[in-house]
């Protein structure tokens, strides 16, 4: 697979739209597609490196609540599950989801190529 998936960054893709049923107005809707890898941060970094190598627009995901200070939120305990989730989350950059069917097919092909990586 070539790195041609990165071409989405310079394309003329626009945000998806939402429709307000009461006014008929539309406005941009932004979204992300994230998922959690099972084995944690070290495995995530390996997966991200391989994914970027084949041209997939992915990055480490949400930092998580465990790193937020007490001025931003209250917590009880060490939030170990939140820490583990933050260390294993990845995010697909959303502009690629607005691309043509051909680009989406190449994205799916790239993700399938990485499917077995977590098992090795």
pLDDT tens digits, residue range 98-115? Answer: 889 999 999 999 998 887
What residue ranges do the domains of the chain occupy?
A: 36-119
pLDDT at 40: 73
In our burial notation (b when 16+ CB lie closer than 10 A, e otherwise), range 90-108 reads bebebebbebeeebeebbe
pLDDT at 120: 57
- Closest CA relative to residue 49, chosen from 120, 2, 104, 114: 114
CA dihedral of residues 45, 7, 12, 98 (deg, nearest 10): -50
Residue 2 above 70 pLDDT? no
Structure-block tokens of residue 22: 């009461």
Three-state DSSP at 19 gives strand
Residue 3 above 50 pLDDT? no
The contacts of residue 117 (CB under 8 Å, 6+ apart) are 46, 47, 50
pLDDT at 56: 92
pLDDT tens readout for residues 13-58: 444 555 566 777 776 665 678 888 877 788 889 899 999 998 899 9
Q: By percentage, how much of the chain surpasses pLDDT 90?
A: 18
Phi-psi sector, 24: left (phi>0), alpha (psi -120 to 50), beta: left
Q: Per CATH, the architecture of 36-119 is what?
A: Alpha-Beta Complex (3.90)
């Amino acid at each position: 697979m070539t790195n041609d998936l990165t071409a989405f960054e310079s394309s003329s893709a626009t945000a998806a739209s939402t429709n307000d049923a009461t006014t008929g107005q539309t406005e941009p809707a932004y979204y992300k597609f994230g998922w959690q890898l099972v084995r944690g941060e070290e495995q995530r970094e390996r997966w991200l490196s391989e994914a970027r190598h084949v041209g997939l627009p992915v990055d480490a995901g949400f930092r998580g609540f465990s790193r937020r200070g007490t001025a931003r939120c209250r917590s009880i305990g060490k939030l170990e599950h939140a820490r583990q989730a933050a260390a294993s989350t990845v995010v697909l950059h959303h502009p690629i989801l607005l691309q043509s069917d051909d680009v989406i097919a190449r994205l799916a092909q790239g993700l399938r190529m990485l499917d077995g990586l977590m098992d090795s």
